């Protein structure tokens, strides 16, 4: 019966791929959160200056939630 072996090259490649995928997902999440916060701040200030209080509160709340 042939002896089984562990494919180290495959394991290393899969591990590197998993690390890259995780880092990419984390980076995209951070980028999306910061972009969403900036948009919420801009829209909130604009709505506040135009005396649209409900919309301003909603957008500024989105900014503060980050």
The pLDDT of residue 55: 95
pTM of the model: 0.69
Q: How far apart are CA 63 and CA 47, in angstroms?
A: 13
* CB neighbour list of residue 61: distance below 8 Å, 6 or more residues apart: 40, 44
Overall size of the chain counted in residues: 66
Please give the DSSP secondary-structure letter assigned to residue 51. Answer: T
Per-residue pLDDT of the chain (66 residues; tens, 9 = 90+): 678 889 999 999 999 999 999 999 999 999 999 999 999 999 999 999 999 999 999 999 999 987
């Amino acid at each position: 019966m042939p002896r089984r072996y562990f494919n180290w090259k495959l394991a290393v490649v899969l591990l590197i791929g998993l690390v890259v995928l995780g880092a990419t997902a984390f980076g995209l999440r951070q980028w999306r959160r910061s972009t969403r916060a900036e948009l919420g701040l801009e829209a909130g200030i604009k709505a506040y200056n135009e005396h649209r209080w409900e919309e301003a509160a909603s957008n500024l709340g989105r900014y503060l939630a980050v």
